[in-house]
Amino acid sequence: MPYLTINHLEKSFGPTRVVKDFNLSVEKGEFISLLGPSGCGKTTVLRIVAGFEEPSAGSVQIDGRDVTNLRPNQRNIGMVFQAYALFPNLTVAQNVGFGLKIAGVGRAEAAERVTDMLRLIGLPDLGARYPFQLSGGQQQRVALARALAPKPRVLLLDEPLSALDAKIRVSLRQEIRQIQQQLGITTIFVTHDQEEALSMSDRVVVMNGGIAEQIGSPFDIYNRPATPFVAGFVGSHTGFDAEVINPAAGIVAIDGAQLALSQQLTAPKGTIIRLALRPEAARLGRAEGRETILKGRVAQVQFMGSIIRLSTMVGDTALTLDTFNRPDTPPPPVGTEVEISVAARDFIILDAAGNGIAQRQTAEAERLV
Amino acid sequence: MTDQAALNTATVTDVPKARRSVGSVFSWAMFIFGVLYFALPLIGMFEFSLRKRRGTYSFDAYTTVLNDPQFQATFSYSVVMSLVTIALGMALVLPAAIWVRIRLPKMRPVIEFITLLPLVIPVIVIAFGYLRMFNTSSFLPMTGSITGTNILLAFGYATLALPYMYRAIDNGLRTLDVQTLTEAAQILGAGWFTIIFKIMLPNVFTALLSGAFLTFSIVLGEYVFAALLDRPAFGPYMIWTGGNRAYEPAALAVIAFTITWGCMGLIMLAGRLFPHTRAKR
């Protein structure tokens, strides 16, 4: 039985529906990320779980109990905010012990718990400091300790890393995940950063326009995106229009070159379907196991440290491919004619039924409106 | 460095320096003018207050004022009334300002307008309104008893102090992320009482003190309400003294200024006593 269940959640602000029939079941101890662009409804879902927003319809259950109508202070939930939200007038230790004091925990027990929490976040000696005397990363650690101190049933993280600089963000996300696994606490993490979501979560919910487009493991979300939006939002890809040649055998043609995809297609012969290729799936030059060779011209070279990203023009299609950086092999200069090898199995079919173009055109029209 | 380069460097650095020194002289001139503008009348008043004894400076006027039983009675009355008004104003304004920030942000301009009304509507109008609404033959005859009239006066004072109290508290709240702090406290189990008294109040304490100090000053010098409601307050006493004595009104004014500056000093001292407010300076 799931530990946290969100059933048919709806939320409207005036005439705008920001959450549409959202459903999610979270197992005890699971780390779930709500990933999506700004305005997709992810924070609204989190705030409904916390009790800060009332749903227009639907319910939230925690450990078998319906909490939809409970106030935030009755739900026993911990939350970490993007803006830290430490109480400026209280010291670090007082901040961490705030929830314990409210809960009526004895002074000795609370002091012990505060010490444990400060040790857990790696700041055992900073209990006497005030929030303004801490760095952003330290403040967010304290906020995490404060949320965890009263032993909440669920931990909610509302973009807790967004206000931090890149290096701290990476180290803190590892720490958060480690602490979450150590305590086994059920966690919902809201972010618009796909790298954070993919690296920290047991499962990711990709949201768009108030609906959950796909719920799955980071591996599935990245490698088997269910919709064109997920494919486009999570990671980058090159899109191809392909003509269906033989649906039963999964054979399609891109610019005249035929490919045998690894699955049957439901679209009839002659239909144009949409395929996607991740940058790391294409290789510069010929490579074993990659039977399809495309000819292109280097249009742009982006040196990103360990990876070099090449933008090439294959016919009229801009194909992006990543190669590992090797000091003895400099990247080809812009304008060079190159061969690119790809494997048919690496193509992601965005819509096997051939609705892709129609969907894209509709989305384009909606965006323009 | 070549001569040309040296010349260029000198030109580049000297021009702003010259401009800076002109600006600096102008700033000092304005500062000195400001100090003289405000200080000279005070110095003149203080000097005059010391002239009660012919031919020599003395504190006779101050002794007379401080020993006057009426001064003691009216001053104590006004101090008590100002404390009541401060408590009343805070109880009214702090929750309202927090509520507006969290739940009714669109109502802020309306609330701000309402709090400004006491500056627009003359006090005498409010006082006559009170007398008409709460006189002895009305449905709520508050002017029929001393306690009732005192309560009425405190409400009147709270109305007068509303623009200053609201602005002081609202400015204090502006430095905080009230919404997020409230939510952070709520999710940790806190109710409204804890949020207001343990989180908001300590963080806007300096702002509250400013509001309290302004209220104190207003109540101490207020004349119309106290005179029309016939209460023995300090304002009417000052007016009465001004009409009947020569040197004592100046002494009274100096005393009032000393109290005001004392309050300001206390506010600054209180700001230093709260370590968490250091970050904001």
Over chain B (281 residues), the average pLDDT of each successive run of 10 is 49 61 88 92 92 90 91 92 93 90 88 91 90 86 88 93 91 90 94 91 86 87 89 90 88 86 78 62 36
- Nearest to A201, CA basis, from A221, A226, A183: A221
Residue the block writes with tokens 């486009």: A232
- The pTM of the full predicted model, rounded to 2 decimals, is 0.78
Q: Where are the domains of chain B?
A: 69-273
Q: Per the structure block, which two tokens stand in for A72?
A: 């935030």
Query: What are the Cα distances from residue B156, in Å, to A213, A347, B130?
Result: 60, 78, 8
CA–CA distance, A347 with A224 (Å, rounded to integer): 10
Maximum alpha-carbon separation in chain A: 76
What is the strand order of the sheet A307-314 is part of? A283-284, A337-342, A292-303, A307-314, A317-324
Shortest CA distance from B189: residue in chain A: A73
Q: Does A78 contact B at CB distance below 8 Å?
A: yes
Centroid of chain to Cα A196: 6
Maximum alpha-carbon separation in chain B: 96
Q: Does A62 contact B at CB distance below 8 Å?
A: no
| Pair A182, A189: CB distance under 8 Å | no
Count CB neighbours of B11 within 10 A.
9
- A87–B279: do the CB atoms touch at under 8 Å? no
For testing contact with chain A, the best of B182, B188, B196, B278 (most A CBs within 10 A): B188
pLDDT at B275: 63
- Distance in Å, alpha carbon of A44 to nearest chain B alpha carbon: 14
Predicted confidence pLDDT, tens digits, chain A (369 residues): 899 999 999 999 999 999 999 999 999 999 999 999 998 999 999 999 999 999 999 999 999 999 999 999 999 999 999 999 999 999 999 999 999 999 999 999 999 999 999 999 999 999 999 999 999 999 999 999 999 999 999 999 999 998 888 888 898 999 999 999 999 999 999 999 999 999 999 999 999 999 999 999 999 999 888 888 898 899 888 888 888 998 888 888 887 778 888 778 888 888 888 888 888 888 888 888 888 888 889 999 999 888 999 999 988 888 899 989 888 888 899 999 999 988 888 888 876 665 443 343 333 333 333
pLDDT at A166: 85
Beta carbons within 8 Å of A53's beta carbon, 6+ residues apart: A11, A44, A47
pLDDT at A37: 92
CATH of B69-273, one of 3.90.660.10, 3.20.20.70, 1.10.3720.10, 3.30.450.20: 1.10.3720.10
β partners of residue A323 = A308
Beta carbons within 8 Å of A345's beta carbon, 6+ residues apart: A261, A262
Shortest CA distance from A103: residue in chain B: B189
pLDDT at B14: 55
CA–CA distance, A295 with A314 (Å, rounded to integer): 6
Shortest CA distance from A91: residue in chain B: B276
**Residues in chain B, total:** 281
Task: Return the HEC string of A250-311.
Answer: CEEEECCEEEECCCCCCCCCCCEEEEEECHHHCEEECECCECEEEEEEEEEEEECCCEEEEE
pLDDT at A368: 35
Shortest CA distance from A157: residue in chain B: B184
- Distance in Å, alpha carbon of A80 to nearest chain B alpha carbon: 8
Any alpha helices (H) in A121-193, and if so which ranges?
Answer: 136-148, 166-183
- B189–A85: do the CB atoms touch at under 8 Å? no
The alpha carbon dihedral of B202, B203, B205, B211 has a sign of negative
pLDDT at A364: 36
Q: Does A148 contact B at CB distance below 8 Å?
A: no
pLDDT at B281: 36
